[in-house]
């Protein structure tokens, strides 16, 4: 049985808007890189558009919403399952 989460509409709308931007922008950037453009264009986008801070805000919004339903321990268990970049080591 699926559970429901109540979220603030404005926060959810902002999250969707940001995700839409990221998907469209990354598609365009990766197409340009695939066509031979310098891959640094990706780094420029990440830095100029403040992606790390914006993604952290999105994670906080989703995490806070989930925590109200599943609790802090369950949220931490989910976070521990993440497979992220490991600096090539």
Examine residue 70 and state whether it is found in any structural domain, yes or no.
yes
Cα(52)–Cα(20) distance, rounded to whole angstroms?
A: 16
Task: Give 19-70 pLDDT, tens digit per residue.
Answer: 999 999 999 999 999 999 999 999 999 999 999 999 999 999 999 999 999 9
Examine residue 50 and state whether it is found in any structural domain, yes or no.
yes
Query: Which residue range is the domain that position 68 belongs to?
Result: 38-74
Q: Which residues contact 66 (CB under 8 A, 6 or more apart)?
A: 5, 75, 78
Give the global pTM.
Answer: 0.83
Tokens encoding 17 = 């808007």
Q: Which residues contact 62 (CB under 8 A, 6 or more apart)?
A: 15
Examine residue 16 and state whether it is found in any structural domain, yes or no.
no
Domain count, the chain: 1
């Amino acid at each position: 049985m699926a559970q429901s989460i109540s979220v603030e509409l404005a926060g959810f709308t902002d999250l969707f808007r940001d995700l839409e931007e990221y998907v469209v922008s990354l598609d365009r950037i990766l197409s340009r890189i695939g066509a031979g453009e310098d891959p640094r264009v990706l780094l420029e986008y990440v830095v100029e558009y403040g992606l790390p801070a914006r993604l952290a805000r999105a994670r906080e919004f989703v995490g806070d919403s989930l925590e109200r339903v599943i609790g802090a321990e369950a949220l931490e268990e989910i976070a521990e399952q993440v497979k992220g970049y490991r600096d090539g080591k």
